[in-house]
Amino acid sequence: MIALSLGEIASLIGGKLHTTEMASADTIVSGTVDTDSRSLRAGDIFVAKPGEVTDGHRFVGAARESGAELAIVEHLVDEPIAQIVVADVIEALAVFARAVVARVRAQGRLRVVGVTGSNGKTTTKNFLARILSDEGPTVAPIASYNNEVGAPLTMLRVTDDTEYLVCEFGASAPGEIARLAGLVEPDVVVELMVGLAHAGGFGGIEETAKAKAELIAAAKPGGTAVLNLDDPRVAAMAEPARERGLQIVGFGQGDAEVRATGVDVDAAGTSFVVEIGAERIPVRLQVLGAHHVGNALAAIAATRALGVGPADAAARLETVEIAERWRMQPMGGEKVRIINDAYNASPDSMAAALRTLAQITGPDERTVAVLGAMSELGESAGDEHDRIGLLAVRLNIQRIVVVGDDARRLFLAAVGEGSWDGEAVHLPDAGAAFEYLRDELRPGDRVLVKSSNSAGLRFLGDRLGESFS
């Protein structure tokens, strides 16, 4: 964070400062701002976020013991640490982030990229960060810091030297992207795709599209909108982008300014050619899956708008080994290969992962899909689990292991489609699945582990990876 006095911070966020003998209004802080007391170091700032399970105010003392200089709270806590009392710490966090980014932008160096989409946000922000970090000091989200807490915490990591800020914007309800992106007014906005992820919170895919388009409305006038022209709902955002005064750059595998051809996926990675005008750039990603081609195109197009040569961008992307932990992460050993992709799941990402499993498995190898529930789909949950079960059979996945009661419809659909002779099994939980797979898996198996975060199968993937390493 930039250096600010405790008094300045109190003024910026509209709170009342309570000092101590060790910290006055003139005390300068420039450390990290965080809601996790365990992550703090000397000079950091602790935000006491109330939560559904616990209350951050209980950990103000732990934050002080870790070295925090300041706590932002909703009520004074009996601990010898400087505190700023505000009415709402989440709102204060947003106001704080807006103010800090505005101060750095006023110096004229900082440019902001905002990314949204139903799938691919985290991979794309990692691609962007890899490309831009070679251009200058870059701040990007840790993991999937893309909500009302994570996005402002990322913004508050900028310093006076930061040249690029990459923001990932997720949402589970209308208005969230508008509120978060409005804190920074991105110079470049990236719209990846509109799918059924979190559709239950929006009321359907058309409402989801409207929510994703909020990023367009929050962009800095005169900036650039990078749009996935392979997705008709994203392509339709071109008109509001023009009305906003944005330059439009399309990407995709069809008729687009930044286009991919010759896509090929194997067990070692993903190859394609980027075409921009007369330029042809071969790319060999280490990241598995044809669905990551669009994410790479988006990163190349967005950084091109910031002045990075596409050939340089492509070369940097080739050094990325995995998209993120638990996202198409190769594990296991030579005999049994595990792909742990269980950080999150939507119908689109589930289908893409299953297709990748089928593509990378040789004729003498066996496909095994370990599948859990897809969450936050609302009324469409049953039909979408049915669809994935049918797809798994039609892709000739040879073992379909369905875990948990919430995914039972997927199992029943697979059985109904023809996987009734032991090819599909249903197990109650991850523990039972591990015991089954430990005995079932054999040399030559390629195993996909895929579910939403709430199903917890990412830890099952870790156990399998360790067991077969």
Binding-site entries for ATP = 117-123
Beta-carbon contacts of 439 under 8 Å, excluding residues fewer than 6 positions away, are: none
| 205 and 195 Cβ atoms separated by less than 8 Å | yes
With H, G, I as helix, E, B as strand and everything else as coil, classify residue 263.
strand
Paired tokens of 32: 């990290």
Q: What is the 8-class DSSP label of residue 1?
A: -
With H, G, I as helix, E, B as strand and everything else as coil, classify residue 352.
helix
Q: Which residues are annotated as a binding site?
A: 117-123
Paired tokens of 255: 């008729």
| 194 and 93 Cβ atoms separated by less than 8 Å | no
Q: What is the 8-class DSSP label of residue 220?
A: P
Rounded CA gap, 405 and 31, in Å? 45
Backbone φ and ψ for 400, nearest 5 degrees, come out as -115, 110
With H, G, I as helix, E, B as strand and everything else as coil, classify residue 188.
strand
Distances (CA, A) of 107 to 9, 209, 252, 267: 19, 35, 35, 46
| Beta bridge pairs of residue 447 | 338, 368
Size (the chain), residues = 469
| 317 and 296 Cβ atoms separated by less than 8 Å | yes
The residue with tokens 């951050």 is 56
User: How many Cα atoms are found within 13 Å in the side-chain-facing hemisphere of 408?
Assistant: 4
Sign of CA dihedral 138, 144, 145, 151: positive
Give CA 346 to chain center in angstroms: 13
With H, G, I as helix, E, B as strand and everything else as coil, classify residue 77.
coil
With H, G, I as helix, E, B as strand and everything else as coil, classify residue 197.
coil
| 294 and 359 Cβ atoms separated by less than 8 Å | no
Rounded CA gap, 292 and 359, in Å? 14
Q: What is the 8-class DSSP label of residue 261?
A: E
Rounded CA gap, 449 and 353, in Å? 9
Rounded CA gap, 122 and 116, in Å? 9
Rounded CA gap, 420 and 440, in Å? 17
